[in-house]
Amino acid sequence: MLDFLIASVQLDPIAIIKTGSYLGIALIVFAESGLLVGIFFPGDSLLFAAGLLSAAGFLALGPLIFFVVAAAIIGDSVGYWFGAHVGTGFFQRKDSRFFKQEYLKRTDRFFQKYGGRAIILARFMPVVRTLAPVLAGIGSMTYKRFLSYNVVGGLLWGAGMILLGYSLGSIIPDSERYILPLSLVIIVISFLPILTSVMHEKNRANGVLSDNLNNEI
């Protein structure tokens, strides 16, 4: 148990899998989906690495997918409940080490752009993945409608990331030796939408500032 806690604090996907097995993986997925303390947990790389290790025989594929999908769906439901009952004061929270208002504002803009589909799309975006169900609970979306998106998103993300790792693990000989570099690639890819969004907003802000300066001149 202590080894699992240390691995979780160190955000080490491979150590989390080897020390926590199915329940440990499910706990991390649940925390990242429904608890603010899990906002920086390595969800994508964890599931990808679990899929690779499953292909190597370390974990059984069926139980792994079951535990992960169930944890993802339950976690998002907890996030929705939190938003519905505590969300009003959530917007007034000050920035801290693990939470910044900018994360919330960015997720809110994402939610306004995609509506209910944001629950599904957010599964594939770190940070946004944790905050999207909270905003759904704060807003006017009914739990019945939210649950339908939640289930679809949990299945696509949970099963999809594991199967991606499992497929590569089945194709690449001794793939467990390349877990770290392959996981790093997954992390970079998962953060690309956020980086693209930040750059787009920065360029838009610079454009607005430039227009204002030109108008003043």
d(CA 124, CA 44): 8
d(CA 138, CA 140): 7
pLDDT in tens, the chain (217 residues): 788 888 888 888 888 999 999 999 999 999 988 887 777 788 888 999 999 899 888 999 999 999 999 999 999 999 999 888 876 666 666 666 656 666 667 666 767 777 778 888 888 887 788 888 888 887 778 899 899 999 999 999 999 999 999 998 888 776 666 666 666 676 666 656 655 655 555 555 455 444 544 555 5
pLDDT of residue 215: 54
d(CA 29, CA 144): 22
Residue 140 maps to a domain: yes
Residue 183 maps to a domain: yes
Residue 104 maps to a domain: yes
pLDDT of residue 148: 93
DSSP letters spanning the chain: -HHHHHHHHTT-HHHHHHHHHHHHHHHHHHHHHH-GGGTTS-HHHHHHHHHHHHHTTSS-HHHHHHHHHHHHHHHHHHHHHHHHHHHHHHTTPPP-SS--HHHHHHHHHHHHHHTTHHHHHGGGSTTHHHHHHHHHHHTT--HHHHHHHHHHHHIIIIIHHHHHHHHHHHHSTTGGGGHHHHHHHHHHHHHHHHHHHHHHHHHHHHHHHHHHHHHH-
pLDDT of residue 176: 63
Neighbouring CB atoms inside 10 A of 40's CB total 13
Structural domain that includes position 55: 2-206
Residue 216 maps to a domain: no
Residue 213 maps to a domain: no
Q: Please report, as a single letter, which amino acid is at residue 31.
A: A
What is the pTM assigned to this prediction? 0.77
Overall size of the chain counted in residues: 217
pLDDT of residue 28: 93
pLDDT of residue 7: 86
d(CA 165, CA 36): 26
d(CA 135, CA 126): 15
d(CA 94, CA 96): 6
d(CA 214, CA 61): 60
Q: What is the 3-state secondary structure (H, E, C) of 80-99?
A: HHHHHHHHHHHCCCCCCCCC
Counted domains in the chain: 1
Residue 98 maps to a domain: yes
Residue 211 maps to a domain: no
Residue 214 maps to a domain: no
